Amino acid sequence: MSDIKFTNLETERLILRKFKEADVDTFFNYRTNPQVMLYQDEGWVNYKYEQAVEFVKKQMNFEPGICGTWFQIAIELKNTGNLIGDIAIHTLPEDINQVEVGFSLNPIYQNKGFGIEAVICLLGYIFNVLNMHRVVAITDVRNKPSIKLLEKAGMRKEGHFIKNIWYKGEYADEYLFALLNEEWQTPLP
């Protein structure tokens, strides 16, 4: 387990922060939006408001670096204070020096550069503060916006898993993207 306490991260337009109780309604509304749920795993299907309340309460007091857990971070628009999405760090149980990242944005804030801004900020935190060895991201091969974002963030496609996951009634393909700490320290193109 990491002994580093999470503190807010800021970019030009965003604040990445812990969740707070006031986020529940907005979080529930965008996470249950059909556009957002299109590529979310089965755990988000039929998601209930009570689950959102519990999720936010848990994340408010959580810290990154706990083996096998997801640490979810709220993405706030700096100039309005609006919650626009969330981004996460999953500390991998097989190696605590490697993490998986994931992200979800409210559709009204997509295609405005907020996703890439948040991901690059999070990668900096993961490599420069948490000093992780490797970051991975897994996405459905049909999720073109996520693929584009991960490539733009400098992550390389390492694998194409063919029909490896049972997903909403059918087997689906996934891409695995990755980036090493030493690659992050080299300026990205």
CB 12 within 8 A of CB 117: yes
pLDDT at 22: 97
In the chain, what are the domains?
9-135 (3.40.630.30)
Per-10-residue mean pLDDT, the chain, length 189: 82 97 97 90 85 96 91 97 97 94 96 96 95 96 96 96 89 96 69
Q: Are 134 and 180 in contact (CB under 8 A)?
A: yes
DSSP 129: I
Q: Residue 189 has what pLDDT?
A: 41
What is the predicted pLDDT for the residue at 95? 93
Handedness of CA 46, 110, 76, 134 (dihedral sign): positive
> Six-digit token pair at 132?
């992780």
Report pLDDT for 106: 97
The b-or-e profile of 125-153 (16+ CB within 10 A means b, else e) is bbbeebebebbbbbbbeeeeebbebbeeb
Spatial distance between the Cα atoms of 68 and 89, rounded to a whole number of angstroms = 10
